[in-house]
Amino acid sequence: MPEPADGFVHTSLPGRVLLGAGTLDRVAEEAGLLEVRRVLLIATRSARDAADVVEIGLKDRFAGRIDGVTQHVPTDVAESARDKARQVEADGLIAIGGGSAIGLAKAVALTTGVPILAVPTTYAGSEMTPVWGETSADGKTTGTDLRVLPKTVVYDPVLTEHLPMKVTAASVANALAHCVEAVWTPKADPITETTAVEGARALAAGVRQVLEQPSLEARSNLMYGACLAGSAFASAGSDLHHKICHHLGGTYNLPHAETHAVVLPQVTRVKSTAVPRAKARLEHALQTADLAAGLYDLVASTGLPTSLRELGLTEDQARAAGRVFDAEDILIRAWAGTRPEGATR
């Protein structure tokens, strides 16, 4: 990665962000600012109450609703949502929920071009990225397209106050993966690095706060970290870690966030040596002497699985996936749950 004095190229993506307790009440107003007239509302089942509030606030802008989404955005679910959008003549989408709800909205926007207003209820950060994904019998396909980048993101920490610790921790691990990988991709630059480091700091501090004593302040910190994580990832793009995780999720139907939590320390052990400055900054942000081991320990402290074996993957499947990416050592260590003992040289 270039030093600031060497010069660099950075692309900032457009978007409007609102963060604060009670901002859910401003969603209808924000939809008006986007000049949409017929909104299709997409919500996870756990966000049904929040979706009810938004539906009432939209008044005559409300055109239809999809309740319930599926992980990894299966093609048949995506096609059904596109059909629904056409039937109600939607010219705008509001997605309320985690990455699955926002991912389904992205699938609709990809083919229709209608704008998305995202209201995340977890911390992964996908609402800040132009990355989409869809899963068929042939595996998971991902891509990047500005049509799927939400125009507005509304972060209301109140929506995550009662998020179970298991879901909170998995979502934070997903966001940390966005931060950590953003420092070593080919498109990484000093701005994405700084964004990623601050995002990682906020996420690590927030999850430790939630573990010790859950509070609205801790939840706000996590949403702030998620926003930065998504922003860094959106500019820097993905690399080996995300390629492995998407393959595992699409091929073996492993849970998305938990897979990130298990694989990230193992990839970091190998890749972070190429970016010593960023590695040191992330270690300071996470308050650890070694980045890979610190990530592993942070995941373990939350009670999340630390091995792919715990997620249901067999050793043969891990070896097969490793051969796809010439990363068999990484996948076997991730399958076994081996704690990184210092980085490779």
Instruction: Give the count of beta carbons closer than 10 Å to the beta carbon of residue 142.
Output: 14
CB 305 within 8 A of CB 265: no
- Residue 343's pLDDT is 46
In the sheet that holds 16-19, the strands lie side by side as 16-19, 152-155, 116-120, 92-97, 39-43, 62-67
- Cβ pair 333, 308 in contact under 8 A: no
Judge whether 264 and 282 are in contact, CB under 8 Å: no
Q: Would you state the structure tokens that stand for residue 98, as one six-digit string? A: 């985690």
Write out the residue limits of the CATH 3.40.50.1970 domain(s) in the chain.
Answer: 23-155
Which residue type occupies 329?
D
Measure Cα distances from 108 to 148, 207, 271 in Å: 8, 32, 35
* Cα dihedral sign, 325-326-330-331: positive
CA–CA separation, 201 vs 203, rounded Å? 6
Are 157 and 223 in contact by the 8 Å Cβ rule? The answer is yes
CA distances (Å), origin 30, targets 18, 57, 65, 117:
10, 11, 18, 8
Contacts of 126 (CB under 8 A, 6+ apart): 99, 102, 103, 120, 230
Rg (CA), the chain: 19
**CATH number of the domain at 23-155, please?**
3.40.50.1970
In CATH, which superfamily holds the domain spanning 166-336? Dehydroquinate synthase-like - alpha domain (1.20.1090.10)
Span 137-160, pLDDT tens digits: 888 888 999 999 999 999 999 999
CA distances from 217 to 19, 20, 76, 161, 222 (A): 12, 10, 39, 10, 9
| H runs (alpha helix) in the chain | 27-33, 48-58, 75-87, 99-112, 165-181, 190-212, 216-236, 240-252, 256-271, 276-286, 291-301, 315-324, 328-336
Give CA–CA dist 309/290, Å, rounded. 24
Torsion (CA) 10, 13, 14, 19 in degrees, nearest 10: -110
- Tally the residues of the chain: 345
The whole-angstrom separation of Cα 173 and Cα 260 is: 6
Q: How far apart are CA 14 and CA 92, in angstroms?
A: 17
Rounded CA gap, 257 and 26, in Å? Answer: 29
Query: What is the per-residue pLDDT for 342?
Result: 60
Give pLDDT tens digits along the chain (345 positions).
Answer: 777 767 888 888 889 999 999 999 999 999 999 999 999 999 999 999 999 999 999 999 999 999 978 888 999 999 999 999 999 999 999 999 988 999 999 999 999 999 999 999 999 898 999 999 998 888 888 899 999 999 999 999 999 999 999 999 999 999 999 999 999 999 999 999 999 999 999 999 999 999 998 899 999 999 999 999 999 999 999 999 999 998 999 899 999 899 999 999 999 999 999 999 999 999 999 999 999 999 999 999 999 999 999 999 999 999 999 999 999 999 999 999 999 986 443
Q: Where in the chain is the domain with CATH 1.20.1090.10?
A: 166-336
